[in-house]
Amino acid sequence: MLVKLPNNETKEILTLWMEGSDVKMINQKLLPYKFEIYTAKTYQDTAKAIKNMTVRGAGAIGVAGAYGIAQACLTAPKKDINSFLKHVKKAEKTLKNTRPTAVNLFHDIDRVLAKLNISLPPEKNEKIMIEEAKKIAEESIISGKKIGENGESLIKNGAKIMTHCNAGALAFVDWGSALAPIRLAHRNKKSIIVYVNETRPRSQGAKLTSWELLQEDIPHIIIPDTAAGYYISRKEIDLIIIGADRIAANGDTANKIGTYTLAILAKENNIPFYVAAPLSTFDLKTTNGKAIPIEQRSETEITHIWGLLEKNKKIEKIRITPKNSPAKNPAFDITPAKYITTFITEKTLINPPFEKTIKETLKN
């Protein structure tokens, strides 16, 4: 993605990449106030970065997980294949234990692990597995671009588009899922405006999507999540595009909390509701949305808010609720397939009946 650096230079930067045994990533906890690259030196650091959301978004944490396994291969004992295997399996457990909902994490880790061949020496396995992790990252960039190309045709000149959370380059390695068609429509000189839902509690819309759109001067407006219905009912939104963390075999979709509400609003007001996601987000082993595990995050994300203090320009956390009021923080919800117009993937646009078309698309 293009990033405007403080010295006014514009640079192409990936959300995360591997350099030697380090995993480098844009520190998303500091955006939009500070642009900084965090270096995860070990697989344990990478796991921590996934858990505390230094790197976040389904596609990005999938690649981070794959890189984490690659890091574990580098530090694994090489005296025999069993000790190598033991070390890598420990890393698998740590990395998979970070966030439960986005299936890309499990998919990408398993893809690297599938390359393990116990009849080969550890050094050879290390090489093959690191190559696979890097291949996953490269393919993720290509998928983002193709999702953009396949979805751009759905955006007409003059379109007013709503999105939720951040399903941009920051949630991927580059390009993004929901933001890829938007990015391309803008680059193709279509006049568009993006309504960015703030996405409480962590405000990925207000903090990250807005930052990402600003880098390419894509016109946008941040609105409170609670104003979505107001704008949609006044026919001020032409379409909604969101990303996804896991799509079940029947099309039920887990995405950031608040997505379900938007899908119903879209149906009620007759506007299309698009889900943009790579094929690695589809999980045929999960029959429907009820089987998708929903991450429950800390209540401090509700009771407190992070931001830049005006007076000293420091990033601080402040309490916004009474001390003794409990809070709950489900991070995702499930949108039933019946509310989804089309899935935009790197391969094709998937239309209903999803039970049939999803299976066919993933098979071929």
Q: Which positions are catalytic? A: 245
Q: Which of residues 284-343 bind ligand RUB (CB under 6 A)?
A: 331
Query: Which range binds ligand RUB by CB under 6 A, 9-17, 55-63, 300-308, 341-349?
Result: 55-63
243 is a contact residue toward ligand RUB (CB under 6 A): yes
Within residues 80-139, the interface with ligand RUB by CB under 6 A covers 102
Provide the token pair at 244.
Answer: 């996804």
Q: How many CB atoms lie within 10 A of CB 315?
A: 12
Which one, 87 or 246, has the nearer CB to ligand RUB? 246
What is the distance between the alpha carbons of residues 122 and 124, in angstroms, rounded to a whole number?
A: 5
Choose the binding region for ligand RUB from 3-11, 54-62, 186-194, 336-344 (rule: CB under 6 A). 54-62
Q: Does residue number 55 form part of the binding site for ligand RUB (CB under 6 A)?
A: no
Q: How far is the CB of 259 from ligand RUB (least distance, A)?
A: 8
58 binds ligand RUB (CB under 6 A): yes
Question: Residue 35 forms beta bridges with which residues?
Answer: none
Out of 68, 148, 151, 176, name the contact with ligand RUB by CB under 6 A: 176
- Considering only 98, 177, 253, 341, the residue that binds ligand RUB (CB under 6 A) is 177
Judge whether 238 and 161 are in contact, CB under 8 Å.
Answer: yes
Consecutive H or E run containing 349? strand 349-350
Residue closest to ligand RUB when measured from CB atoms:
243
CB 70 within 8 A of CB 18: yes
Conformational region of residue 187, where left means phi above 0, alpha means psi within -120 to 50, and beta covers everything else: alpha
Between the CA of residue 34 and those of 6, 48, 114, 156, what are the distances in Å? 9, 20, 38, 34
Q: How far is the CB of 166 from ligand RUB (least distance, A)?
A: 6
Structural tokens at position 262: 């938007």
Q: Residue 93 in 3-state DSSP?
A: helix
Q: Per-residue string for binding with ligand RUB, 194-233, x by CB under 6 A?
A: ----------x-----------------------------
Which strands, in side-by-side order, build the sheet including 246-248? 282-283, 246-248, 253-256, 332-335
Q: Which is nearer to ligand RUB, 58 or 358 (CB)?
A: 58
Answer yes or no whether residue 165 interacts with ligand RUB by CB under 6 A: yes
For ligand RUB, the binding residue among 84, 172, 274, 282 (CB under 6 A) is 172
Residues 6+ apart with CB under 8 A from 207: 31, 32
Does 14 participate in binding ligand RUB (rule CB under 6 A)? Answer: no
Residue in 22, 60, 63, 56 with CA at minimum distance from that of residue 42: 22
Phi, psi of 155, deg, nearest 5: -105, 115
* Binding window for ligand RUB (CB under 6 A); candidates: 1-9, 41-49, 165-173, 348-356: 165-173
Q: At closest approach, how far in Å is the CB of 201 from ligand RUB?
A: 10
> Could you give the CA distance from residue 59 to residue 169 in angstroms, rounded to a whole number?
9
Using CA atoms, how far apart are residues 361 and 349, in angstroms rounded to an integer? 9
Our CB check for ligand RUB shows the closer of 104 and 125 to be: 104
Binding site for ligand RUB (CB under 6 A): 56-60, 102, 165, 167, 171-172, 176-177, 204, 243-245, 255-256, 277, 281, 331
